[in-house]
Amino acid sequence: MRLKDEDENLRKTIANLESLKPIYNVIKARFNNEDIRSVISRYDKLENYVTEFSIKNNELEDRIKELKEEIVKADGKLEHNEFKFREEEGKRNKIITNFRREIEQRDLSLKEIKNFEHDYYDLFNKVTDLYLHFAGKIHVWDGNNKFNLKPDLHDPIQMIDAMLRMIEITTPNDI
């Protein structure tokens, strides 16, 4: 029995080897000046290259994943920075708008002040003219000043007060 088992194992091995014969013939035809050991050595080298390149390929794919993750992070950071920039730009524009409004208000205030000054000088000149007219009528400068008015008044309020006293002092009998 043992011989039968060995014989059967031998026949299986031969059948397996015979199935490899066409491959052997193709290899022999392709590499006709080389023996099978050198072909196997070349195959081993090629297999080593494939293994190395496979490892490098896996490393590069891992690196690509890392770079994609970095890109996603950088995009997120960029969007965040862009949002901050737009937010700051909005604040800056608001400040500029408020500043311009304030300048316009100050310009209006300055215009109002200039208009007030102009109106004040016009009124001052009119009051002065009126005072001089009154003072001339009651002879303030020629010594016949019966109302004791000072002829050198410079303040329009004093002038108006003096004219009011002149009007009060003047009675129908004085006229």
97-102 contacts at long range (C-beta below 8 A, 24 or more positions apart): none
Would you state the pLDDT for residue 93? 95
Would you state the pLDDT for residue 30? 80
How many CB atoms are closer than 10 A to CB 131? 21
SS (H, E, C) the chain: CHHHHHHHHHHHHHHHHHHHHHHHHHHHHHCCCCCHHHHHHHHHHHHHHHHHHHHHHHHHHHHHHHHHHHHHHHHHHHHHHHHHHHHHHHHHHHHHHHHHHHHHHHHHHHHHHHHHHHHHHHHHHHHHHHHHHHHHHCCCCCCCCCCCCCCCCCCHHHHHHHHHHHHHHCCCCCC
With tokens 């494939």, the residue in question is: 50
Q: The whole model's pTM is what?
A: 0.43
CA 75 to chain CA centroid, Å, is 17
Walk along the chain (175 residues) and give the pLDDT tens digit of each residue: 778 888 888 888 888 878 778 887 887 788 778 887 888 888 899 999 999 999 999 999 999 999 999 999 999 999 999 999 999 999 999 999 999 999 999 998 899 999 989 998 888 888 888 877 776 766 655 656 665 666 566 677 777 777 776 665 555 565 5
